[in-house]
Amino acid sequence: MQDFEKLGVFYLGKEYNLEEGKLEEDLVLYKSKDLTTHAVIIGMTGSGKTGLGIGIIEEAALDNIPVIAIDPKGDLGNLALTFPKLQGEDFRPWINLNEASNLGVTPDEYAEAQAQLWKEKLSEWGQDGERIQKLHDAVDITVYTPGGSAGPGVSVLQSFNAPPAALQNDKDAYRDRIHITATSLLSLIGIEGDPFTSREHILLANILENSWNSGKNLGLPELIAAIQSPPMSQVGVMDMESFFPAKERFQLAMLLNNLLASPGFKVWMEGEPLDANRFLYNQAGKPRVSIFSIAHLSDKERMFFVTMLLNEVLSWVRSQPGTGSLRAILYMDELFGYLPPTANPPSKTPLLTLMKQARAYGLGLVLSTQNPVDLDYKALSNAGTWFIGRLQTDQDKDRVLSGLEGAAAGGAFDKKRTEKILSGLGKRIFYLHSVNEDEPTIFSTRWALSYLAGPLTREQISALPNNKGTTENATFVAPVKVESQNFIQVENQKENQIDEQKDNQATISKTDTQSTTFKADTLKSEPPMLGPEIKQVYIPVTGSNQEKVIYEPAILGLADVMFSSSKYGVTVSKNCALVSPLHQGPVPLDWREGKMTDIDLRSLEDKPVAGATYMNYPEAAANAGNYDDWEKLFTQFIRTDFSLKLFFSPTFKIVSEADEDERNFRIRLQHLAHERRDEEIEILKSKYKPKIDVLENRQRRAKQAVENQSSMATQKKMEAAVSAGTAILGAFFGRKSISATSISRVGTAVRSTGRAMKSGEGIAQSQETLESVEMQLQELLDELEQKIEELSAKFSNLDEKLEEVEVRAASGNITVHFVGLAWTPRTPD
């Protein structure tokens, strides 16, 4: 069997001879980068399309490509059932007990039979438990149940948070985000919100845009309040009351409030935030297969969640750099109702956008359905690969042929031949049409590595190894995201931080009281009187409790720092904002006790909030001369303790970016490996192509020579035989006396026969030439294959040990903007 264990190719099965009805030995190896032009799987129930889809996801996982999979039926959870030991006891919890009963065997016996079946079938396809173990080790597989409790949940309300600045700067992406969020939310309460005619949609879109433009996050309660009291007084040229009266807005608010008050809606606010990056990679940067099982949801809930997830994936895609290699896969099983030809459900817009734009960013869509008449084939003409299985009706066949013809626009498409092929497809037999190949391929899918137990029950999903029925036990734990995490370590950082801005403000407003010597009973009701030469600022108060603010004195240092390293090609400018506590005694200030924050000079206030009280300050804070010394110490601290910490990859000879943590750097390295591998393989193939072309031309000429020699030899033998026979007959049955001329003719005929027999030697020589050329061609192809394998191995080391690089700032690259007394607000618990 050919070697299929190669990076960059998916082992899908073997070629199948439809005319003879038998399996061929040639493997079907699909290039992963071809999937960037998207794929469609179409086939009736029982055609084997789920098995093919699972096989594609397995191959992606083995190639370190992450997958987000939407599962309306519950079949894709089978990907979590990987049993490398192939023992009956592993299969036992997942077998179909009814099937065992119908066969008249015990569950244990049936489980052993299933294990044996998998072992035998895998062996037939050149696979074994070792390959299952590779799949098991390659990725983390988690089955989510949004809106349910069987598996980890998903907090969809996270998507109402303000998108990152990069997305807001992309006007088209920002507009789509607003539109899709408003549309999907309205669909959940039964309103079809057209963005041009629906008042509800226009109102929600304006509220979202107004809040997000201000950097404010929205939860459902805040959204309900904003509907009743909108943050804008007019819409277009009309005032709000004329456009959407308060009484009618209240009805919309009540619909959303009923949703929020529903006991069943609580699960939509629990679980991991809706974040595509976290679903694609775990905390260590390892690829994931995240499966979203939505079989338990109502149609409205399914549409809501799918649309919100597609919206999040679309935002993630637009934040990635362009690439020609496959970065990730979005797989959707049973597309029925989500991309119809005429209707316009909320899911259609993001799907269409992804079909048109995602390929440029390395996201491949794989869309599967058994209902081809329900698909928008104009949209699916963007798909470069079609997997067509057994179809149910002639109408289905006609629709598929129409779609294939559209996908092949500009290329050759034999409609009659394709129609004949589609009529002869059986179970697990697929017609593969790819824009990247000259001819279609008929193949049979390989045996799945995962145990195909059928749709998983709620209890089975809860029992999956990575689920355990709770969000807390999910595979992924949200990483701490801190702006300054690549610099000097900051003491007392909060664990499991999610919202960077919130935590940074908390760092300022909730200074550890144990780090100071001041007591609450020393509070003053009036701000202290200090000399005008001492700079004083007030850090803004966050949160709603601003009535009992207590100001604590600290020293704030603000500086711009330039980090530069010619060795690593790094030139980065960073802000350094450090809040350090004050002490009584000989050492009133130690910058090493300071805490990093993202505060900036423009956000500082020059007046306190009304009614605030103040902690006392040490005498050192009232001495203006100390601030000059503290500024020098601040510069010294930056030079010695405040460094830019990066990661270096020995394999690729590159360093991480300034704000890139190890997880994201490893993710970037994984995709860079795929890109470099694909590029170098193409370069290698282009170098070998002229040699291969020469030998193929020689092979073609040698074959023609063999055929010509064979044809000529046959003809000469026949002519010689006829000539000899005629001469002999003429000699014996011609004139009564045998003349010299007759004898001469017989001799000539005999010599012709001899020459005809010798021509057979020419065939042998031509055959030897052909065999020699074919041997040279095979050796060249083997040599190319070996070098491709070496390249793949070169880029397969994704767990390399990264080196830590520390870049310090020179004194001339430090610009101090402020060192002064900062009053940090605290509020009582």
Q: 341-353 pLDDT, tens per residue? A: 888 899 998 999 9
Regions of the chain with pLDDT less than 70? 1-2, 158-159, 407-412, 466-522, 543-547, 712-762, 796-798, 827-829
Query: Is residue 288 a contact partner of residue 280, using CB atoms and an 8 Å limit?
Result: yes
Six-digit token string for 159: 């998507």
Q: How far apart are CA 434 and CA 385, in angstroms?
A: 4
Partners of 13 in beta bridges: 28, 445
Q: What is the pLDDT of residue 702?
A: 82
The number of C-alpha atoms within 13 Å of 262 and in the hemisphere containing its C-beta is 15
Q: How far apart are CA 736 and CA 495, in angstroms?
A: 122
Query: Is residue 307 a contact partner of residue 159, using CB atoms and an 8 Å limit?
Result: no
Six-digit token string for 687: 């170098």
Q: What is the pLDDT of residue 712?
A: 65
Residue 819 backbone phi and psi in degrees, to 5: -140, 115
134 burial type by CB count under 10 A (0-12 exposed, 13-18 middle, 19+ buried) = middle
Query: Is residue 577 a contact partner of residue 556, using CB atoms and an 8 Å limit?
Result: yes
Partners of 386 in beta bridges: 40, 433
Residue 524: DSSP 8-state: B
Q: What is the pLDDT of residue 165?
A: 78
Query: Is residue 276 a contact partner of residue 315, using CB atoms and an 8 Å limit?
Result: yes
Q: Which residues of 734-756 are buried (b: 16+ CB within 10 A; e: fewer)?
A: eeeeeeeebeebbeebeebbeeb
**Domains of the chain with CATH codes:** 154-269 (no CATH), 500-643+808-826 (no CATH), 662-793 (1.10.287)
Helices 199-213 and 220-228 pack at an angle, to 10 degrees, of 110
Q: SS3 of 499, please?
A: coil
CA geometry: angle 536, 538, 542, nearest 5 deg = 170
Query: Is residue 339 a contact partner of residue 351, using CB atoms and an 8 Å limit?
Result: yes
Q: What is the pLDDT of residue 720?
A: 53
- The region, left, alpha or beta by phi > 0 then psi within -120 to 50, assigned to residue 170 is beta
Q: SS3 of 559, please?
A: strand
Q: Which amino acid is at 819?
A: V
Q: What is the pLDDT of residue 509?
A: 42
Q: How far apart are CA 28 and CA 12, in angstroms?
A: 6
Helices 415-423 and 394-407 pack at an angle, to 10 degrees, of 140
Q: What is the pLDDT of residue 719?
A: 58
Residues 6+ apart with CB under 8 A from 591: 557, 578, 580, 630, 633, 634, 637, 641
End-to-end CA distance of the chain: 70
Q: How far apart are CA 416 and CA 418, in angstroms?
A: 5
Q: What is the pLDDT of residue 541?
A: 84
